[in-house]
Amino acid sequence: MPLPPSNPARPVRPPRIKTDLEPRPVLPSPLGHPAYSQTMPCAPESARRARLLVGAACTAWGLPGVADAAALVVSELIGNSVRHSGSRLVRVLVSLPEPRRVRVAVVDKSRTPPAPRPADDCAEDGRGLVVAEALADRWGTELLRWGKQVWVELCPETDAAP
């Protein structure tokens, strides 16, 4: 098998060959819990891509019962970013902080925290956080130096907190 072209800044090392046949223990990932993320334009069309990402993650983790709610929530969070952030790009993160808990987050460059509309507001739009709050086990906002992350955590109904 030919070696890749050498980089003068880094010496080429031959691949290690496992000499024993005993299985090695599986160690926790140094990067933390499983996660998927994708940067996309801050545009209404990105909601579809975000839903696909969330659905793929939920399927990979064996949590299809959460996929529909998570897809709806991520669509609402993308919609909020499109309407209110003024960002050119958003980052969608889907992670598994606990074995049966999915965390969906949208990061944009606005530092303005979101605020749910009052329940008696009759506007046809602007209900993203109301929907997220109704479907989520918990949700919140983390302000970053350069923007914010709005996140929602969901778990299957049988495991949801009362």
Please report the pLDDT score of residue 114 as a whole number.
Answer: 85
Please report the pLDDT score of residue 160 as a whole number.
Answer: 43
Q: Is 40 helix (H, G, I), strand (E, B) or coil?
A: strand
Nearest of 64, 78, 82 to residue 154 by alpha carbon: 64
| C-alpha–C-alpha distance, residues 47 and 49, integer Å | 6
Please report the pLDDT score of residue 135 as a whole number.
Answer: 87
Pairing mode, strands 148-154 and 89-98: unpaired
Tokens at 142, concatenated? 């983390």
Tokens at 148, concatenated? 């914010």
Tokens at 149, concatenated? 């992350």
Please report the pLDDT score of residue 150 as a whole number.
Answer: 95
Task: Kindly list the distances between the CA atom of residue 160 and the CA atoms of 87, 135, 156, 157, in Å, as whole numbers in the listed order.
Answer: 33, 10, 6, 5
Please report the pLDDT score of residue 73 as a whole number.
Answer: 95
| C-alpha–C-alpha distance, residues 130 and 50, integer Å | 19
Please report the pLDDT score of residue 161 as a whole number.
Answer: 45
pLDDT along the chain (162 residues), means of 10: 54 51 46 85 97 95 94 95 95 93 96 75 62 88 95 76 44
| C-alpha–C-alpha distance, residues 141 and 44, integer Å | 21
C-alpha 86: how far from its chain's center? 20
Largest CA distance in the chain: 69
